[in-house]
Chains A and B, each alone.
Chain A
Amino acid sequence: MQSLTNRSVVVRKKEMSFMEKLYLPAILGGMVITIKHLFKKKVTNKYPEVKRIFAPVYRGVHVLKLDEQGRENCTACGLCAVACPAEAITMIAAERKSGEENLYREEKYAATYEINMLRCIFCGLCEEACPKDAIYLTDRLIESKYQRKSFIYGKDLLVEKVDERIDVSKRKRNYKMA
């Protein structure tokens, strides 16, 4: 049969020579290889102290963004929930009362907004679907918990704090490039 490339090698089970049957030269060669690794650079990250820098495309826990005046961007349109292939997002919409203009940017807002982190597949489609610049995936990790119910993140965990803004500029840049 004609080979398609010139890279194929015919495997044959040849008799081992006496030196090969001794195994000792091969063992010594292996030991030289392992001892060389003793002096190589270690690849370990000492995790809690040194954190690996994630790639800009990394998709971790979501954040619900506030605008410059600290008002919630989300208008509870539900497009993220529709876009979500894992059906992880649920929300209940409510109307903004007078006097709440400093809390919510538009007349409608999400009274509850929940993402089930056990269902979420971190695809980022919610962020693509959002017309109001409200939801972004960040480079943060989900904390380990003992109970399943603690993985349903409500607004208390998702909405960013006014004084602790979360940088999503890297994610935004990705979208511009796309």
Chain B
Amino acid sequence: MMDWSILIEKSILVVILFLISLAVAAYSTYAERKIAAFLQDRIGPDRAGPWGLLQPIADGTKMFMKEEIIPNASDKLLFILGPCIFMTTALMTSALIPWGKSMNIGGHEISLQVANLNIGILYIFAIVSIGVYGIMIGGWASNNKFALLGAIRASSQMISYELAMGMAIIAILLTSNSLDIRTIVDQQVGFKWNIFYQPLGFLIFIICAFAECNRTPFDLPETETELVGGYHTEYSSMKLGLYLFAEYTNMFISSAVISCLYFGGYHFPGIDSLHLSQNVAALVSVAVLFSKVFFFILFFMWVRWTLPRFRYDQLMRLGWQILLPLAIVNVLITGAWLTYFK
């Protein structure tokens, strides 16, 4: 009987998470266009619904209605598989994020986290790495030189920056002694946020997160000026939609990971002194986490409409010659500090 209730509880959580991820991704496209417009002294989309709020729905409808083109010379199976892998992996990572404190409904403890693995961060990294295959396969299967160039750029960029990202995480793992994200979050209760202990690590991590999400200034896989559309040049209709959508989902998830690892996740200073009942406290903690996540999504966009993109050799030099040594130094400093001062 107990097993069934857990299955139902987790299924409901999964469905809610799925819907939230998709909704956030959809409205990220709207927010991106609005922010781009505001930062350029324009208004942005304002025709569909009040303030253009129905724009994502209109865009989605457009994507579905478009003609589906699969190039003749492409590998049909891989061509379809590419966006599927990219979207699936983008959605899978949200399962490990602790979205809030646990709730209590009818004496039944409900953890607002789909799965609590003790290797949480490793799982997220593994899944994000698989996401590269979505881009790689799609670019290769298109049988188009621009798509292939975009895919090569994407894969080499993501692999390069994953190293520095992993190194930045190791410093966090050293201080927290755990790979479990909920443990890491709970250690930052109050105002003991990791950013204050790991400022360099945070800087490296967020730069790498930009590169992992293919966001400006690292959006070389889809440089319109050089590569037409990059790895999704040959894609049309909802398959293109899936690629674009998954990128925004990735941005959402990486914002959540940044919030959890460096900004105390669902904790907020003074949240315990309010003496809220357990369920209300849980909902407040979810709201706190989401406000942090939305801040980082906006930050991603803010940076996008400020910086121009790197040249490819600059990107590689930054990744291998600057970020990776810096991350290693950060690990060494953290290790030395833990050894001699703790």
Contact = CB atoms under 8 A, between A and B. Distances in A.
Given A34-B302, A35-B302, A42 B42 contact: yes
A56 interface: no
A34 B41 contact: no
Q: Is chain A's binding surface mostly helix, strand, loop or mixed?
A: helix
Interface residues of B, number: 13
Nearest to A30: B306
A38 B307 CA distance: 16
A14 interface: no
A40 B41 contact: yes
Interface in B22-52: 38-43, 46
A44 B302 contact: no
Interface residues of A, number: 15
Contacts, number: 35
A34 B306 contact: yes
A13 interface: no
Q: What is the predominant secondary structure among interface residues of chain B facing chain A?
A: loop
A31 interface: yes
B303 interface: yes
Residue in A33, A34, A41, A44 with the greatest tally of chain B CB atoms within 10 Å:
A34
A42 B36 CA distance: 12
Contacts of A44: 41-43
A31 B41 contact: no
Interface string A54-78: 0000000000000000000000000
B268 interface: no
Interface in A6-41: 24, 27, 30-31, 33-35, 37-38, 40-41
20 contacts: A27-B303, A30-B307, A31-B302, A31-B306, A33-B306, A34-B39, A34-B302, A34-B306, A35-B302, A37-B38, A37-B40, A37-B41, A38-B38, A40-B41, A41-B41, A42-B41, A42-B43, A43-B42, A44-B42, A46-B43
For the complex of A and B, list the 4 residue pairs with the smallest distance between their C-beta atoms, beginning with the closest.
A44-B43, A34-B306, A30-B306, A34-B39
